[in-house]
A and B are shown apart, each in its own frame.
Chain A
């Protein structure tokens, strides 16, 4: 049965999940397959409307998929109602019971499981202390700040001792500094309890900062699932590369010898590039540098604009525009001729779409 954290966690598995909302022709989830390793944190990343929240609803049981199956710790739970499933959800809003104190809110899941009031409260206080709010146990939700209320919501979800913890953009309503604090708190608590966790976010930085694995969704399907560093360095498609902030895509093809042939000539590629044939060479803006020497190409500066402490520059090459993120300093002016250093280790090729 759910809510037993003492048993080894088999994680979460979504198998060919299809969901179509009434009155809509297009499915919001279209045969989605997703695996979350036991005790690991997966960030579900994607643009608005890609099906992230629907995925959480399916995993929690609040929505039954038209097709497909949900497994928790190896047991199929597709038709198991949310109250018996063991998938606790933290929503964008804290959703605390307004007429109960923070302590009683956190004690609520244990009370639902039939534990005595005293036991539930003792355990709840420990959870509140884990999120740093032991001193505010007697406060009512309206006496808490947004960040504090969301921490209580996290403590309450953990108090349910769930098989899987589902976080549906829980930090999106908080200010940036508070988001950092909450991210750190989540990482610490998740590692400490080793609870299988899915974090829905549209913030790539957040996903990369906290997740063991990132799954990128688009139009109801999984584009790629990988460790954050791999996702950035080795995108599976042009769509993934672009979503992750890599707009440079130079068309060409990979020769049988593993070199990238394009109007710039034949460029060396890292050994990890297994793709052969037509494709796009992608390279992250922060990996490109200005300077002469090996692995450089000639370019003309097209546009320059400040981006915080950095400068975003677009330079036209014979193969197409290359985006560069320059560190603080004096950037070149538009129309200026420059040499761009494209380090081989940071080059990657994605197959040409279609």
Chain B
């Protein structure tokens, strides 16, 4: 088979995914500018979003959820990978635990956290039984409260293992050898992390962070189950508008979908720029 055809064949699955996502985004974009019953086009849906303070609140909330989930998951994953890096057994145990967590669906995880953290949930009851709180009203509103605590906890519980798996895959014997080399030159744990582990794991970390950010920014079920009703996360808002009985709301719903797609595309561009910079930093100019 000619090399060109072989290359095309090998990249076909990823090209198909990109084409599917791009096609869906184009369809959403077309729907978002439809005017009335397809008589023309208009940007009124976008203008409406810009004039609606609820949109800004939703956008900020989604950005907050995605950014915090990504940063905390990455920090936790780095910490645990760094902690077990010297132990083969520790590494195997961590890998097993991370894989087990990955297998739990997000919806199930969100439901479990709802049962645990809601006002009438298990922890609330336990704290009441222990005499630490007077009742459900005294328990902090972690579910559907003003801060998306339960959403963040669910995402961190699910995404930190994912980042861990990505980092463990990149933590090759070559990284370990580099760490050992500078260890004999006087570098302690933190300096090994700064000078070897982080620079060598950074590409994998960047990829993992992008995936976590994109998922937590665009996913519906967890903020729908555990988030507040006002403001709602952007994907929840989009789905609710799309399912509205008012067909006039549909362009706004699709405009929200386009916004979500654009934010993720921007994040992907930023990740690509960071990756290029990291590659330069790793190998010199």
Contact = CB atoms under 8 A, between A and B. Distances in A.
Nearest to A60: B184
6 contacts: A22-B88, A82-B180, A83-B187, A97-B178, A98-B284, A142-B284
Given A91-B177, A93-B177, A112-B191, A99 B183 contact: no
Given A81-B183, A97-B178, 12 more contacts: A62-B183, A62-B184, A82-B184, A83-B184, A83-B188, A91-B177, A91-B181, A108-B195, A109-B185, A112-B182, A143-B284, A160-B185
B192 to A, nearest CB: 8
**The 4 nearest A-B residue pairs measured at CB:** A140-B284, A95-B181, A112-B186, A109-B185
Given A140-B283, A142-B283, A143-B284, A95 B178 contact: yes
Interface of A: 3, 22, 60-62, 81-85, 87-89, 91, 93, 95, 97-101, 108-109, 112-113, 140-143, 156-157, 160, 166
Contact of A95 (B177, B187, B281, B283): B177
B105 interface: no
A25 to B, nearest CB: 18
Interface of B: 88, 177-178, 180-188, 191, 195-196, 199, 281-285
Contacts of A83: 183-188
B187 A112 contact: yes
Q: Name, among A98, A113, A142, the residue most crowded by chain B CB atoms within 10 Å (CB to CB).
A: A98
Nearest to A95: B181
Contacts of B281: 99
Contacts of B283: 98-99, 140, 142
A1 to B, nearest CB: 11
A3 B196 CA distance: 22
Nearest to A142: B283
A156 B185 contact: yes
A226 B196 CA distance: 40
Contacts of B285: 140
A22 B284 CA distance: 39
A84 B187 CA distance: 9
Nearest to A88: B184
B284 A157 contact: no
Contacts of A100: 284
